Amino acid sequence: MPPVLRPEHPAARALNGLVAEFGLDYTGSLDGVEVTGVTLRTTEVQPGDLYVGVPGANNHGAAFAAEARDAGAVAILTDRAGAALAADVGLPIVLVESPRSALGDVSAWVYRTGEHPPLLLGITGTNGKTSTAYLLEGILRQLGLVTGLSSTAERHIGDLVVVSRLTTPEASEMHALLARMRESEVRAVVLEVSAQALSRNRVDGIMFDVVAFTNLSHDHLDDYADMEEYLAAKAAFFDPDRGRRGVVSLDSPYGQRVVEQSRIPVTTVSATPGTDAEWVVEILDEQAAYTEFSLSGPQGRTLITRIPVIGWHMAANAGLAIVMLVEAGFELEAIGHSLGENGIDAYLPGRTERVSGDRGPTVYVDFGHSPDAFLNTLAAVRTVTTGRVIMVFGADGDRDATKRHEMGRIASEGSDILVITDHHPRFEDPASIRATLVEGAGLAEHQAELHEISPPEKAIRVAVALAQEGDSILWAGPGHQDYRDIRGVRTPYSARNEARDALREAGWS
């Protein structure tokens, strides 16, 4: 697992100050106890930590308080049930009603992340969060700022790059990351915020300068009862306790719903013709190497620039990023000047990322794993392809199964040749997952030539063997990830490397 990034020189804080600040009850002696960090996991306890015992589905975290003590924890924060479990550990216990709900504010206090914070920009939505985050960070760097990033793919602190664990880490990890960024004199931070992060208190204790919404489409219905509950989780981001200003894309029908439910001032942006948005993105040119677009807004303000990826939806993400910066106080003219003639300088790992050379079929790997993501990315690939579009994809096991038929249907509709394979089966039967995807492909009005191939190493080689000069292959699902989850084991695996190896084996450079 990637490491948790913490401040290298943490400042100790007296535990009795925490108790006084929040008016908390406690047991044991607080005299002389100082904390330098916060964690939920005994495996990540460092000397001086406050260990937080959270009730779980199978066990209460406080049941492992002795392990936390032995690893160097100096105090426990938990609820009354947890306090009973940790009573004999010999550490002071601070009591809260809900440890998870308290985690964000407590972590902010321990790490002092509310003191002189950097510019904080947060993005939520079903698709486009990561792309928007990387484009936003790229612009900020071109503006001359030292940046921080927390995304599904990576964490950045200036030039330091670490692979991510979750889209949005636990609140204790998030505040530790922000404290580490402060040590590195980061001036602007971009955070990708999932619905689960909002529902599970992972961004508590953080006040964003600008929050943004990309879109909402069918996904994560294994976590939420229906689309209304899923929307409510996202809309909670637009609350005065979380953000000062908001930017909302109207490119999905749910955008207007977010505007109506927002409790903070918002501005709107759209790349969909005929939408009544304050800022409008218009596609000017689409090439395999870039997409050029204009962004027009109030008072006749206009910017023309380009992004180094394909697709109108990527231009929409870039437009959203630019409007976020305008809402944060940057002048549009200054942004345009910093971007220059070549446009936004950003690398988007695993987002329609081209991994092929100048000869042979063009191969893209992409992280998209929802019907809407398939629809937009296939359309983008089709636009810049002179030959056939070949798609390779699989579906996650032990995740939202209700979207699988629609994934298969859209994949067949948008491709000429479709190769259905495995992705992360986890504890599901991969053959059963593939069978559902094949059923979905059979529902398409346009029936692509269909191949069911397992494992994915073989699937990409079949796709490359079927391809000719001028064809494009879209391998959707794995994107930037460097593993496959098979029965709970993370097996090292890279779609990028497999695709390149397949091309070389087929005689393409």
Q: How far apart are CA 468 and CA 455, in angstroms?
A: 22
Distances (CA, A) of 16 to 32, 34, 76, 277: 9, 8, 13, 51
User: Are the CB atoms for 118 and 94 separated by under 8 Å?
Assistant: no
Distance of alpha carbon 134 from its chain centroid, rounded?
10
Q: What is the mean pLDDT of each run of 10 residues along the chain (509 residues)?
A: 87 97 97 97 96 94 98 98 97 97 97 97 96 98 98 93 81 97 97 94 97 90 88 96 98 96 98 96 96 97 97 97 98 97 94 93 94 94 97 95 96 98 96 98 96 98 98 95 91 95 94
CB 470: neighbour CB atoms within 10 A?
A: 12
What is the reported pLDDT for 168?
76
**SS3 of 93, please?**
strand
Torsion, CA 369, CA 325, CA 236, CA 316, rounded to 10: -30
Determine the Cα–Cα distance for residues 133 and 347; give it in Å rounded to an integer. Answer: 11
Q: Given the structure tokens 């229906």, which residue do they identify?
A: 226
| Element spanning 38, H or E | strand 37-39
Q: Which of 408, 475, 416 is nearest to 442 (CA)?
A: 408
Cα separation values, 232 from 83, 125, 224, 225, 336, Å: 33, 12, 10, 11, 35
Tokens describing residue 386: 């002179």
Amino acid at 52: V
- What CATH superfamily classification does 13-111 receive? MurE/MurF, N-terminal domain (3.40.1390.10)
**What residues pair up with 246 in beta bridges, in sequence order?**
211, 266
Three-class HEC string of 73-87: CCEEEECHHHHHHCC
What is the three-class DSSP state of 50? Answer: strand
Answer left, alpha or beta for residue 404, where phi above 0 means left and psi between -120 and 50 means alpha.
Answer: alpha
Are 217 and 313 contacting, i.e. CB atoms less than 8 angstroms apart?
no
DSSP 351: S
> How far is 291 from 165, CA to CA, in rounded Å?
31
- State the pTM of this model: 0.92
SS3 110: helix
Query: What are the residues facing 190 on neighbouring strands?
Result: 121, 149
Q: How far is CA 31 from CA 16, 75, 87, 187, 380, in A?
A: 8, 12, 18, 37, 63
Cα–Cα distance measured from residue 120 to residue 192, given in angstroms and rounded to the nearest whole number: 11
Non-local CB neighbours of 440 within 8 Å, separated by 6+ positions: 404, 405, 406, 407, 408, 409, 411, 412
CA angle 458, 352, 441 (to 5 degrees): 55
What CATH number matches the domain at 119-339, 3.40.50.720, 3.10.20.30, 3.40.30.10, 3.40.1190.10?
3.40.1190.10
- In terms of CATH, what superfamily is 353-505? Mur ligase, C-terminal domain (3.90.190.20)
Q: Given this model, what pLDDT does residue 257 score?
A: 97
Domain borders along the chain are 13-111, 119-339, 353-505
